[in-house]
Structure 1
Amino acid sequence: MQNVNLDELDLQILDILIKDCRTPYLEIARMCHVSGGTIHVRMKKMEDLGIIKGTRILLNLPKLGYDVCCYVGIYVDKTSSFSAVFDELSKIKEVVELHLITGNYSVFAKVICKSIADLQDILMNKVNTIAGIERTDTFISLSQPIDRNIQL
């Protein structure tokens, strides 16, 4: 992967958007002391380079009834199974992140669900039935004291 050179204005724009991705371009322009057109051009450049991949809404999941967040360490039986395992895990809506990792596990998945009973069902009837998964270890998150984007 190639590193991209960003100048101070690009970094300033990203810093503003990291804090609030809904900040209007004209407000960003005012804060950066440049024209709105300059912000549009810079944003388009960063999108074309793949630096900005979109925007997201942050949900308060417990208010929506999703009270359980956990991480599942997954042992995949062999390298040739990875693609099929990834495809099957992507079909489980409660799997919200999937990471190929180093260390004891092959894959680490973040799972969000409504209850421990739901978690049990997901693990027993969805995750652990996938061909190529040898076994799993589950870690339930008790709290999330830090939740932030990287600061540039």
Structure 2
Amino acid sequence: MDDLDRNLIELFAAEPRVGVLEASRRLGVARGTVQARLDKLESSGIVTGWGPDLAPEALGYPVTAFLTLEISQSAGHEAVAEQLAAVPEVLEAYTITGAGDLWCRVVARTNADLQRVIDRVVAASGVQRASTVMALATQVPYRVLPLAGQVGRVD
């Protein structure tokens, strides 16, 4: 990644609907250059999507919790993850090290609704136990953009 790639990423992150022609005008490069760079960033896996970012709170899911799941080793992580993917309130799931086997970020409509979500997660075949931690406030939201600014730079 070079400065043009970083500038493109920053521009499209700030204004996702800016368009290739306007981006080329603002960055002072040819439209074809912008399109080629965007295609390269996408094909290399750096840019993973162009869809809208959604706010669970605005969709009626203001409660966020983190579940640490212990699973039966014979069940396998992939089989459990496949079942978790069928639960709309499960936003992410990761295989982890430490006391648990899988970590999930989930959302719910209310604190009481969180129990329904947990029950649905625990009902997945292979899940033996879940421990839950509720999020009180977001201090640093999920972000990757600052990493793009660091690629190729030495501090």
The answer (yes or no) to whether the contact 1:29–1:36 under 8 Å persists in 2 is: yes
Return the TM-score normalized by structure 1: 0.86
Task: Measure how far apart 1:79 and its partner are.
Answer: 5.9
Partner of residue 128, structure 2: 134
Matches within 5 A, 1:1-150: 6-78=1-73, 80-124=75-119, 126-150=120-144
Return the TM-score normalized by structure 2: 0.84
RMSD in angstroms over aligned alpha carbons? 1.7
Task: Give the residue type in structure 2 aligned to 1:137.
Answer: S
The answer (yes or no) to whether the contact 2:77–2:95 under 8 Å persists in 1 is: no
Count matched residues.
146
The answer (yes or no) to whether the contact 1:77–1:134 under 8 Å persists in 2 is: yes
Cα shift readout 1:119-146 (whole Å, capped 9, x = no counterpart): 101212x111222112111111111122
Task: Give the residue type in structure 2 aligned to 1:142.
Answer: L
- Per mean C-alpha deviation after superposition, the further-off stretch among 23-32 and 92-101 is 23-32
Partners of 1:20 and 1:57 in 2: CA distance = 11
The answer (yes or no) to whether the contact 2:90–2:106 under 8 Å persists in 1 is: yes
| Aligned-partner SS, 2:139 | coil
Gap runs ≥5 in structure 2: 150-155
Task: Measure how far apart 1:58 and its partner are.
Answer: 2.7
Task: Measure how far apart 1:97 and its partner are.
Answer: 0.9
